[in-house]
Amino acid sequence: MYIHLGSKKSVRDHYIVGIFDLDGEVTTKITGEFLAKAQSEGIVDTAGDDIPRSFVLCSDKKGEEVILSHISSSTLAGRGEEK
């Protein structure tokens, strides 16, 4: 199943490692360091032009990708549970 992350960005559910909330998490040191490292490695993509509310860590045979989404983490997680 594909999970819609915003705009025209969707990923297969089995590639999703985790869905994380940016509303409160961005202030933590570890999350900030992780996102800065991912940005410097060029593995960050955005799913829309709005302010991101969550980020999704994906991994497949090609490597890891961090996708910033304007959709809340709880909504994205709910989409993954729907079948």
CA pair distance 56, 54, nearest whole angstrom? 7
pLDDT at 81: 78
Total domains present in the chain: 1
Q: pLDDT for 22-31, tens place per residue?
A: 876 556 888 8
CA pair distance 12, 21, nearest whole angstrom? 20
CA pair distance 65, 17, nearest whole angstrom? 10
Q: pLDDT for 41-52, tens place per residue?
A: 999 999 989 999
Which ranges of the chain have pLDDT less than 50?
Answer: none
pLDDT at 82: 64
Domain assignment of residue 22, given as a range = 2-81
